[in-house]
Amino acid sequence: MAKSIVSQKSLYSNLFVRQNSSRAFANSPAIIDNKPSSVLKRRARFNKFMQLVPSLSYFTQVVAAIARMKHYEAAISVIEKMEFLEILDPNVHNLSVLINCYCHLNRVDLGFSVLGRVLKLGYEVDVALFTTLIKGLIGYNQMGLAVKLFKNMLEQGIHPNSISCGTIINGLCKMGNTNVAIQLVKKMKNIRMEVGDVVYNMIIDSLCKDGMVTEAFRLFEKLMHGTSKPNVGMCNSMICVLCNTNKWKEGMGIFEKIPNPDVQTTLVDGYCLQGRLHEAEKVVDSMINNECNPNVHTYNILINGYCKKKRTNDALKVFDKMCQRGLIANTITYTTLIHGFCLSRQPSIALHFLKKMQSCGQHPDIVTYSILLGCAKPGNSNLQKMSFMDGLEDEAIMLFQEMVESGYYSPDGCTYNVFIQGLICNNTGKRAIEFVDEMVGKGFSADASMTEILLGVSSDRNLDQSPFVLNSLSTSNTNNITFHN
């Protein structure tokens, strides 16, 4: 880049004075030189490379490549060594790389010191350099200085591009200044600057987070009827917001007209979350009629919706339709059906689908086993005991042993605890003791719920005879146990 003859002292002087007089960067972290061995090896090869005195353009490419690999400290060290050995004078491109590296290391204060060198050498500062510094300030939670620098850029006659505007808009949205961000977008449109989908997505997402759903939807409608069409991510965000705020009537018709399988799948998910399964299935049928073919993920969502409502017959109908369309059910499909049959107290059918799943080449995972053993619900971190053993205690024990012997999904402490609780509650205390011994032998202990159950049936001689049971009780956190009379 050519040097400019512009006066340098007046440029950004106010900004530098404010920054140096403040203590905004007083607690900046030091740059620690703890490179991995691979970087050190590259540096050793670079030392040999430096003896050849490469051209400035080639050297710039090398340094830029190191920075793109995110080895920012290595890039800084190489540039500093080049200057120290006085092999090559750094140009504006190398200095720009240096500023970028400092900003990524949260040392934007050092980035500004390099900017001072750029100005002192008479180089022209472009919009890319400004954008790097603005991004660095935002990353260091200095939004006020970032806005000042952006205004300073405008005062110097440097026109921002979509990237610089997107950077400042992103910072404003994160700080909750959505109205200011919207005003900036309007100014961008007035000067006929391109406003990309990413910027609009930031604005809509920020409005939704601020609870301004109506305003977000109005902006979305304008995009729908304008030249800038909303992308898939924007549509999905709006569907989720409308679902969470129970404002479906405001715009579900709009999304149904968007012929995109991802958008339609999100719409199906939204209807299922609201329990509106009939509308969800209508969307799937509409996708087929409009040649916007639903995939396995779409059908899995609909099957899950029916299973949660214990409508297993309808879930099987959807499963059959999916298979008829040539789609192959995956582990999630079978696990969802198994969960539905467990919820509706049909463990025999659940075990049937486990066998069918394995015969079709789909392997059960830890979630599948946990559901069958009554350990957990998919998507729910709270373990719950379920009546999974109604007359099938032997099958449950065989399934648990299969899980252990497979070696792929070893049961953890939670799995053992809930499984043993199920055995005790189904009057199979003797077998329960065997699994308590096995659990404790593997280093797991009884949780509060199982400890309470064990204490409640402690009159059973079998329980008293097991030293592992006593050890499990003694090592448990009994402070949080609630005893019932």
Query: DSSP labels for 432-457?
Result: HHHHHHHHHHTT----HHHHHHHHHT
How is residue 390 written in tokens? Answer: 């109604």
Measured between alpha carbons, how far is 111 from 114 in angstroms, rounded to an integer?
5
Beta bridge partners of 123: 3
pLDDT of amino acid 47: 63
- pLDDT at 9 (0 to 100): 39
What stretches in the chain show pLDDT beneath 50? 1-34, 376-388, 461-465, 468, 476-485
Distance CA 151, CA 137 (A): 14
Q: Which residues contact 455 (CB under 8 A, 6 or more apart)?
A: 473, 483
Task: Give the 3-state secondary structure of residue 310.
Answer: coil
- Dihedral of CA atoms 302, 204, 150, 1 in degrees, nearest 10, equals 40
Distance CA 403, CA 381 (A): 20
Who's near 101: CB < 8 A, 6+ residues apart? Answer: 67, 72, 73, 75, 76
Torsion of CA 358, 391, 379, 238, to 10 degrees: 90
Whether 429 contacts 436, CB under 8 Å? no
**What percent of the chain is helix, strand and coil (3-state, nearest 5)?**
65, 0, 35
Biggest alpha carbon–alpha carbon distance for the chain: 96
482 neighbors 452 (Cβ within 8 angstroms): yes
Count of C-beta atoms within a 10 Å radius of residue 29: 8
The number of C-alpha atoms within 13 Å of 393 and in the hemisphere containing its C-beta is 14
Residues in the chain: 485
pLDDT in tens, 222-232: 887 766 677 77
CA 337 centroid distance within chain: 27
pTM to 2 decimal places? 0.62
User: Could you give the CA distance from residue 93 to residue 74 in angstroms, rounded to a whole number?
Assistant: 17
CB 228 within 8 A of CB 200: yes
Q: What per-residue confidence (pLDDT) applies to 185? A: 84
Q: What is the pLDDT of residues 219-274, one digit of tens each?
A: 888 887 766 677 777 787 787 777 777 676 666 667 777 778 888 898 898 889 88
Handedness of CA 172, 174, 179, 182 (dihedral sign): positive
Q: What is the pLDDT of residue 366?
A: 80
